Chains A and B, each alone.
Chain A
Amino acid sequence: MTNVAIIGTGHSKFGSRTDVNLQELAWEAVKQALEEANVEQKDIQYFSVGNVGTWSAEPLPAVVIGEYCNLTPSGTMRVEAACASGSAALREAYLAVKSGEADIAMAIGVEQMHQSPNPTVVEMIGRAGNYFWEFENFGLTFPGYYALYATAYMNRYGLKEEDLGKIAVKAHHYGAMNPYAHFQKEITMEEYLKSRPVAWPLKLLDSSPITDGAAAVVLASEEVANKYTDSPVWIEAQGVGSGTANLSRRTDFTTIEAARMAAEQVYRRAKINMDSPWKEIDVADVHDCFTIAEIIAYEDLRFARRGEGLTLAREEQTYIGGRIPVNVDGGLKAKGHPIGATGVSMAVSLARQLLYRAPNKGMQAEIRNGRALAHNVGGTGHYAYVTLFSTRRPGL
């Protein structure tokens, strides 16, 4: 087993990318990652592709992208973990290198949701969960599932509309500075409060958009990484978990059990104090597919105690300069959420944060511990991946 480092990152512009097709979109990120890492395609011994698809035409995206990016004939697979597919792809490539199977591997995340009309996409995402017992008869949508969390959370902890609004305003504040973001504009609380309901209590401005985008990272073993770069970003630890398909089989709608589990695995492996992990982490990207999800993430990651995530939002403790900066790249909400790309996009954002390479000074967190945390949830707590990135070589 070896340590694994990110030695190159690539990120496409996120948005409605109808100017390119799926493989062209992937290439934008792959090319950038290859150039940054200074490796050739032939050096990539394995590549994984996070892509959920169904809204886009290619049913075998990994080989279509492999062919287009000249990564063939290296081994590959398409990886699906719903909205955490990107982190699953990262995990696949990470394990390939960690195990010693590959010295250099690439994780690619790509999604092109605009190949289908928006209503079709709403239908497809709504079907994620348990198809027969939740969708077929009751027509749940993705905002609908998270609204079930929001209602329960509001009822138990007194969360207010404005608290969710704080999350949306923050996301757009940082998104406005991110040249890769889908929405590069600020929003006001007034605009937030006036936005139309999607699935009560959630509104349009609580929701991440339907986005196209790609991201890629080149991973290398410790020995190889040291040859290519003097500023590797290590994957220090990763935790994973899953939750029941049927939401009705969960007992608590104010927390995502799978994410708590994944976070605890990471903290244990990295010997991070579970009572105050934020003191040892400089910046985090959390899965804010809907604003409520970010507040729950604060608690699941132990940045706040149960029921106190909303206080972090109210006190603006997750802006740069607060307790812990969260989603300073705009998050899924403003940067966009190209399902299969999101997890890899988090890795790219955070690796660049740790190296003081945020695309805009206003979105650069202060790096003191050299550690960043990614929290990527698939479905509504169906899959959870928490990944800790570090500039310090693990084991030191």
Chain B
Amino acid sequence: MISDVRDAKQKEIAEVLKQLDMLTKMTGLPVYPEPKTGNPLWSDVRELDLRYQIPVKRISKFFDELKKGKVLATRCNKCGTVYFPPQDDCPKCRTSNLEWKEVQGEGELLTYTVISVKPPSFAHYPDYVVGIARFGDVSVTAWVEGPREKLRVGSKVRLDVSKREPEGYITYRLILL
């Protein structure tokens, strides 16, 4: 669950803050020497918790269909441009309310990497493979899963919709065929 991931992180932060409290009690200030250099650093006493609320109304069909196991792109029926990530405006034609079209079939892996040094918000996952695959008109960035020996540029992949654990939300991934 999302809250479990957060709790684990908060526990680490609480440990550090305990030390900061001790120091502040002792010296009257949240100032500590940087271990490597001894340079005095003021440890911020104000915390900013960033968790954005991102509007998805215009592309809500994407999420409705994702729940049904489909990954959708949009297509402008005036100029034919296919958009992935999906968007509801075609800036070329200045039209809106584009058609929805499933991204399906076999894709081809264009490139990939294995992330070893992870951002803190991804630290709870084992090393993951991120790739970009071409499906006809569009390319999709996602995690690549499946047998490692099949992992190479040019490999065939398909899209798969499943739950991302431990957060438990629905997303898509590329599966090596």
Contact = CB atoms under 8 A, between A and B. Distances in A.
Given A148-B111, A248-B132, A143 B140 contact: no
A134 B141 CA distance: 7
B153 interface: yes
Interface of A: 16, 18-19, 57, 119-120, 122-123, 126, 130-135, 137-141, 143-144, 147-152, 155, 196-202, 246-249, 253
A199 B111 contact: no
A144 B153 contact: no
Contact of A139 (B37, B110, B111, B128): B128
B119 A197 contact: no
Given A19-B37, A253-B111, A198 B117 contact: yes
Interface residues of B, number: 40
Nearest to A156: B153
Interface of B: 34, 36-37, 39, 41, 44, 52, 54, 84-85, 110-123, 125, 128, 130-132, 138-143, 152-154, 164, 171
B161 to A, nearest CB: 12
B4 to A, nearest CB: 17
Contact of A138 (B110, B139, B142): B142
Contacts of B121: 123, 139
Given A144-B115, A199-B117, 5 more contacts: A134-B141, A139-B128, A144-B113, A148-B130, A196-B116
B6 to A, nearest CB: 14
B132 A148 contact: yes
27 contacts: A16-B37, A18-B39, A19-B37, A122-B120, A123-B120, A137-B142, A138-B130, A138-B142, A139-B115, A139-B130, A140-B115, A141-B118, A143-B117, A147-B113, A148-B131, A150-B113, A152-B110, A152-B111, A155-B154, A196-B116, A199-B113, A199-B116, A200-B116, A201-B113, A248-B132, A248-B139, A253-B110
Nearest to B171: A137
Given A18-B39, A140-B130, A247-B132, A123 B111 contact: no
A151 B39 CA distance: 41
A151 B122 CA distance: 22
Contacts of A149: 111
Contact of B116 (A57, A119, A198): A198
A247 B142 CA distance: 12
B119 A139 contact: yes
A261 B139 CA distance: 23
A139 B124 CA distance: 11
Contacts of B36: 16
Contacts of B140: 248
B113 A200 contact: yes
Contacts of A150: 113
Closest 7 CB pairs of A and B: A147-B113, A139-B122, A123-B119, A155-B153, A200-B114, A248-B139, A152-B111
